[in-house]
Amino acid sequence: MNIVFIGDVVGRSGREAFKKHITTIKEKYSPDAVIVNGENAAHGFGITESICKEFYDIGVDCITTGNHIWSQREVIVYIGRDKKLIRPLNYPDDSPGKGYYELNVFGGKLLVINLMGREFMYSVDCPFRKIDNFLKNYRLGGNVKGIFIDFHAEVTSEKMAMAHFLDGRVSAVVGTHTHVPTADAHILPKGTAFQSDAGMTGDYNGVIGYTPEAPIFKFLRRMPGERFTPASGEGTVCGTYIKIDDISGKAIKISPVRIGGILSQS
């Protein structure tokens, strides 16, 4: 099974870059599942119904999110109607929507799970205890062919700890949120693929996808300023390719994806 995961799509630049390069991505990787983190897709904050449909129209199978899931208020109602749009599993149980999606592949299922970290993030339920309890209903290579986790977290060590905590129980743990692609893509000893952060899909000639002025003002003055505005230059598509063994559900290969824009291509 081949999975392509695309990191945080930021604003119009990110959406346009993704649409521009999705055909190349499909031709190169022949993905059985395309998963996208879309929590910054709507002008940098949140996602909307129309953007979700835009993603589905070009072949996206599931959309993950994170701390900006509720930034566009229409999603509070919409997410209940769209099972392919998921929010972090460790949000309160009575939050709208779900934290997972079972995607049909190969006559089996690929389980996609969204988690959010707690270090320097919103106060949410413990992601370690939440996922440990949730996975009791699933067996990798048994009732599911693969398990992919988007761990939306700030701290690198928390992401690494989660990957080792789940090593051998899930196919892959890939981080999002920092908007910077990391060079640590590898397979852990028991067969779980890991990368600290897939990076963002957007304009890297800015500050984590936004025009520099507002972030600079914030750091200089230590006070609120204008709302961050997504940078509008050519975007780079950043993500991760993962190949999973069809029998065991464990990872065979993981490699970064970088196409377009100003970053080195991969």
Homologous superfamily assigned to 2-259: Metallo-dependent phosphatases (3.60.21.10)
Per residue in 33-46, pLDDT (tens digit) is 999 999 999 999 99
Tell me the one-letter amino acid at 265.
Answer: Q
pLDDT bucket at 222, cuts 50 / 70 / 90: confident
Over range 108-131, report the average pLDDT: 95
Burial 89-115 (b: 16+ CB within 10 A, else e): bbbeeebebbbbbebebeebbbbbbbb
Torsion of CA 21, 182, 256, 189, to 10 degrees: -150
- Check pLDDT > 90 for residue 178: yes
Minimal CA–CA distance to 210: which of 10, 38, 41, 39? 10
Query: pLDDT tens for residues 229-266?
Result: 999 999 999 999 999 999 999 999 999 999 999 999 98
pLDDT value, residue 213: 93
> In this predicted structure, what is the pLDDT of residue 30?
96
The domains of the chain are located at: 2-259
Output DSSP code: residue 9.
Answer: B
pLDDT above 80 (res 207): yes
Tokens read off for 246: 């069809």
Q: What confidence tens digit (pLDDT) does each residue in 74-99 have?
A: 999 999 999 999 999 999 999 999 99
Q: What pairing do the DSSP bridges indicate for beta strands 193-195 and 172-176? A: parallel
Segment holding 15, helix H or strand E: helix 11-29
What does the pLDDT look like over 183-203, one tens digit per residue?
999 999 999 999 999 999 999
- Average pLDDT value for the chain: 96
Residue 224 pLDDT greater than 90, yes or no: no
Helix (H) or strand (E) holding 33: strand 33-37
pLDDT in tens, 53-82: 999 999 999 999 999 999 999 999 999 999
Q: Which residues are catalytic?
A: 68
pLDDT at 223: 84
- 215 has a pLDDT exceeding 80: yes
Percent of the chain with pLDDT over 90: 94
Q: How confident is the model at residue 106 (pLDDT cuts 50, 70, 90)?
A: confident
pLDDT of residue 84: 98
